[in-house]
Structure 1
Amino acid sequence: MRRLMPTGDATRPVEFVQDTQPAPSPCEVLIKVEAFSPNRGETFLLEAPEPGLRPGKDVAGLVVQAAADGSGPPVGTRVVGHPPMGGWAEYATVPTHSIAVLPDELTTIQAAALPLAGITALRLLRTAGAVTGRRVLLTGASGGVGHYLTELAAAAGAEVTAVTATVERGARLRELGATAIVHDVADADGPFDVVLESLGGGTLTATLAKLVPDGTLVWFGQASRTPATVNFFDLLAGPENAVIRHFHYAGAPYGPDLATLVRLVAGGRLHPEIGRTTDWGQTAEVVIDLRERRIRGNAVLTIGASR
């Protein structure tokens, strides 16, 4: 079978290689991959790939070998999955605790855009706590996580201010429920009960100053790739008793959250924002465009996906 592997070359970060079909463990299914979605974090790993790196964490396709322990769906079932690695290939193994069955109304292209970004958004909102009636400031809102967060938080009754680089992307976030769009944190009309911060650098300090007393900042990324620093005396001059929480989405099982995302999309309550869909032969180009933030939301690569 064919698989995409890292090259270490920034101008052509992945290439096709021939590989043996993976053999699932007793608690894994073998999926014929129809679509997968790279995420921006993976693009950074490709810059200096570790030996043996097999990228690919967001996949959708058809079960062609059921789990030997009987824990998963039967052969012929359409599923979305979140494996630890190895999804950029014609076949991938996925633990049964990290898959969800797809209803007929959901395409594999839509489903492939759900796992990492969607799970991150769900778990971020749980970390933030009840947001109904609260003012939420979201940075880095143009990516896949940002679109899901905006729609989920707005649907839960939050007043969302989204920080995004362009007017075009801001218009889409308004459609998904954002109350206000700004292009610089300084322009955000605070104070806010909750800040969801993903840029790092100076943005973390700037958003921290926008909190209400006893407010919470959840730090879930450093997309600027610039380290953030916080001056203790700035904190004294800012919101009293502010809470800064570090967040990382990872932690199996992922199946229950995937099932929630699938249900919301199938019911028309969540809308995957797919900025580009193309054949997986274009993966190298897509990886570069994701890294350089030239794609809104998610990108999905197809391997003969029919629906």
Structure 2
Amino acid sequence: MRALLVDRSAPGGLRLGEAPDPVPAPHQALVRTAATSLNYGEVRFVLESAPEGAVLGWDAAGVVERAAADGSGPAAGTPVVTLGGDGGWAELRAVDTDLMGVVPEGADMGAVSTLPVAGASALRALDRIGPILGRRVLVTGATGGVGRYAVQLARRGGAEVVAVTGDPEGRGAALRALGAHEVIATPSAAGAPVDGVVDMVGGRQLVEAYEQLGQHGTLVSVGHSGGDAEHFPYGTLYGDMGRHDRSVVSFHLLGCTGLARDLTWLAGQVATGALDPGTSWRGSWEKFPEAAEELLGRRLHGKAVLDIG
């Protein structure tokens, strides 16, 4: 099969080449991939430490070529969206059946490929906050892949959504169209306390967002794009003055159960237009270096999609 192989002598650190077809385990289906979407973490961190010749890629959408031998998961010929620790940047992918969701017939596979990491992370983060109907939820990094989905899902869940972006004037209209009630430049501009935070930035912004939590509030740490450490000044973790029972939590998406159900539901929402995938760059996988440069340069506000084949 053809795949994007790690090759640090090539532009962007990848080249199209030949790799052995994956051999599925009994609980895995073999999927012929149609599209993949890029995530900042895999391009920025995973690629730089991966061995030469490796096939990476977390997100991919395609069609089941061979169903799982143990009878689990969808049948051959079913359109699916898939998640995994690697293997998404290839024509064929072996995928655990509990990490794939069924996609409605005729859906845009490129749009659906944006879901596994970004959409599922946003959904699980909001779930971790708890009931959000009538609650105030702050989303940092709101123009990124996870952030855009978090804004939309929080609004659909009945929350008052406060979106944080470095350019409120330039991006405010787009974020309001997605469902944000307020668009601000920093978490400290939130004013009134918030009940939950979905944080994609980490570092100083995470600390600042935590300070906006009211009592019983939860901050869910999802991303670390800021690249700096979290230093909590003395007194930040005091529990008095309306700060009782606040928490910071994290999760690992591949450690979650029930993702097949999540991915199936999310795929249906994208297919019907109820969720906007926010594709801001799309092209052939031969143009990976161009997409990676845009992503790493923080010039993309949304997702980059590669069409495979």
The normalised TM-score by structure 1 is 0.92
Per the alignment, residue 207 of structure 1 pairs with 209
Which residue identity does 1:213 align to in structure 2? Answer: Q
Tell me the alpha carbon deviations over residues 166-211 of structure 1, each in whole angstroms, 9 at most, x when there is no partner. 3343322110110011122232223211122221221122112212
Q: Which moved more, 1:209-218 or 1:157-166?
A: 209-218
Q: Which residue of 2 aligns with 1:288?
A: 293
Distance 1:142 1:9 in 2: 32
Over residues 257-276 of structure 1, what are the superposed CA-to-partner deviations in whole Å (9 max), with x where a residue is unaligned? 11111222234322211111
Contact 1:15 1:284 in 2 (8 A): no
- 1:184 alignment counterpart: 186
| Equivalent AA in structure 2 for residue 179 of structure 1 | H
Quick one: distance in 2 between partners of 1:164 and 1:74?
42
**In 2, Cα distance between equivalents of 1:51 and 1:229:** 36
Matched residue, 2:104: 103
Instruction: Give the structure 2 partner of residue 240 of structure 1.
Output: 243
Stretches of structure 1 that go unaligned for 5 or more consecutive residues are: none
Separation (CA, whole Å) in 1 of partners of 2:248 and 2:80: 37
State, as a whole percentage, how many aligned pairs show the same letter.
39
Query: CA RMSD, aligned part only?
Result: 2.0
Structure 1, residues 215-250: CA drift from partner, whole Å, max 9, x if none?
A: 222222211111111134233387522222233333
Relative distance call for 1:238 and 1:165 in structure 2 (3 A) is farther
Which secondary structure state, in structure 2, belongs to the residue aligned with residue 37 of structure 1? Answer: strand
Indicate if the aligned counterparts of 2:83 and 2:116 stay in contact, CA closer than 8 A: yes
Spell out the pairing of 1:97-176 with structure 2 (5 A cutoff).
Answer: 97-166=98-167, 167-176=169-178
CA spacing shift, 1:49–1:238, aligned 2, 3 Å:
farther
Q: 1:253 to 1:83 in 2, by over 3 A?
A: farther
> How far apart are the structure 2 equivalents of 1:6 and 1:238?
52
How far does the alpha carbon of each residue in 1:263-296 deviate from its partner, in whole angstroms, 9 at most, with x for none?
2223432221111110000112212321222111
Q: Per the alignment, do residues 235 and 57 of structure 1 end up closer, same or farther by CA in structure 2, a change over 3 Å counting?
A: same
Q: How much does 1:153 deviate?
A: 0.5
- Determine the C-alpha separation between the residues in 1 that align with 2:192 and 2:307: 42
Q: CA distance change for structure 1 residues 50 and 239 in 2, over 3 Å: closer, same or farther? A: farther
Matched, 1:193 2:195: yes
1:128 alignment partner AA: I
Deviations 1:3-36 (A, max 9, x none): 1122346952211221121122222221111101
Q: Is the 8 A contact 1:32 1:62 kept in 2?
A: yes
Q: For 2:291 and 2:41, how far apart are their aligned partners in 1?
A: 13
Taking a change above 3 Å as real, the CA distance of residues 269 and 90 of structure 1, as seen in their structure-2 partners, is: same
Counterpart amino acid of 1:108? M
Counterparts of 1:88 and 1:172, CA distance in 2: 30
**Inter-partner Cα distance in structure 1 for 2:217 and 2:72:** 43
Between the aligned partners of 2:79 and 2:236, the Cα distance in structure 1 is: 52
Match of 1:29 in 2: 29
Inter-CA distance 84–45: structure 2 relative to 1 (3 Å threshold): closer
Unaligned runs of 5+ in 2: none
1:214 Cα offset (Å)? 3.2
Determine the C-alpha separation between the residues in 1 that align with 2:228 and 2:9.
23
Query: How many residue pairs were aligned?
Result: 304
Task: Kindly indicate whether residue 254 of structure 2 is the aligned counterpart of residue 254 of structure 1.
Answer: no
Tell me: CA distance 1:46–1:9, structure 2 relative to 1, closer, same or farther (3 Å): farther
Please give the secondary structure, in 1, of the residue aligned with 2:280.
strand
Checking the alignment, whether the CA contact within 8 Å between 2:102 and 2:264 is kept in structure 1 is yes
Equivalent of residue 218 in structure 2, options 194, 216, 219? 216
What letter matches 1:33 in structure 2? Answer: T
5 Å-filtered alignment, 1:13-28, equals: 13-28=13-28
101-110 or 139-148, which moves further after superposition? 101-110
179 and 54 in structure 1: CA distance in 2 versus 1, 3 angstrom threshold? same
Could you tell which deviates more after superposition, 120-129 or 79-88? 79-88
